[in-house]
Structure formats: structure tokens, C-alpha cells
Amino acid sequence: MTGRDEQRSFWRAIAAGQSSEEAALEAGVSQPVGTRLFRKAGGMPPAMFKSSATALSGLVEREEITLLMVQGHSIREIGRRLGRSAATISRELRRNAATRSGGLEYQASTAQWHADRLDRRPKLTKLALNTTLRTYVEERLARCRRGPEQRSRRSRFPLCESAGEGLSTRPSPQLPATRSLAQYPQP
């Protein structure tokens, strides 16, 4: 079983464009383990290893927030200095402020502990949880002769069943009338 650090390193290497074998070697695990991790996740990093664009990068950034708060800077100013949205800073402070003393005291170490604790909660995908759905998807993909790119572009709602079905000789109320109704044949 590979640890979280090895898996995180593996998925970081995959995101950088390496093959699963190369990523496995960089992460310090065997090539078969890397291949298994890649296949088990369907080629996409599990949600627990994806970093959110709005999530703070770690303890260093949280320490900076603490320092700027103590210096009396506004949330907007803190966001500007860190290159983050004021909403991200506000959310961080609201979620991780200690309220035992009655005030809203923000401590970087406590906030990082909460972030690490929440980061450890792996959430299984719908296909992993629902065997019926997984079987259905696998069967549909096996029958489909097109590649993944073509499958993703397939229309979910066909516009018309036959070539003539989509054409109409009657004027549409949505389109401007360019001819009089007398020019259209009546059935």
C-alpha cells in the first residue's frame, strides 16, 4: 500500500505529463504500483489529490495571513498582498477562527490542522459506489466504436431522427417572414 505522500507525488508527476511508469519511479514506488494507481483512478487524480484553485497553499500562506491580521491590515489588503481574492481570505478566516475566547482569533497552525484533517477524507466516486451504474457505463463504452474525444462530443439530444424531419415548409413564428403565406404549399 502506498502512502499519501507517494500518491500525491505520483499524481503531481502525472499532471506534469509523465507516463504512469515514470511517475511511479519519481514517487518512489514500483512501476506496477504506478500502473495500478493510474488504472484504479481511471487516469484522473482522485479528488483528495486535486488542489483547489481557491485553496490556500499551506502553512506559510496561513502564517502570512496571521501576521497581516495582527498588523491590522484589512481582508482586501491581505488578499491583494497574497494574490488571492478577498472572498478566499474571508472564507479562510471564517472557517478557521477560534471562537472559544468570544472573539474571532485566527491561528495558522490550527487552520492548517483543520485543512489536513479535511484533506484526509477520501470521497469515492459514483462509479465506485454504484456497481449498477459502473456496469452500465462499461457496457456502453465497450459497444461504442469511437474514441474518447468523439464520445465526449456526441450530442446528448439528437436534433432530428432523419434528414427530412428537421426541415419544415411551414413558416416558423421565431423566424422573420420573408415570403407571404400564399407561396407555401398547403397540405
Query: What pLDDT is attached to residue 152?
Result: 63
Name the grid cell of 61.
500562506
Backbone φ, ψ for residue 123 (5° rounding): -110, 125
Query: What pLDDT is attached to residue 96?
Result: 82
Over 70: is that where the pLDDT of 23 sits? yes
Query: What pLDDT is attached to residue 109?
Result: 85
Query: What pLDDT is attached to residue 147?
Result: 67
Over 80: is that where the pLDDT of 16 sits? yes
Over 70: is that where the pLDDT of 34 sits? yes
Over 60: is that where the pLDDT of 51 sits? no
pLDDT level of residue 11 (50, 70, 90 thresholds): confident
Q: CA–CA separation, 47 vs 137, rounded Å? A: 20
Query: What is the residue whose three cell numbers read 474571508?
Result: 90
Over 70: is that where the pLDDT of 126 sits? yes
Backbone φ, ψ for residue 33 (5° rounding): -65, -40
Question: What is the residue extent of each domain of the chain?
Answer: 4-50, 59-119
Closest CA to 109 of 70, 59, 57: 59
pTM of this prediction?
A: 0.42
Structure confidence by residue, pLDDT tens digits, 139-159: 887 777 666 666 666 655 554
Query: What pLDDT is attached to residue 1?
Result: 55
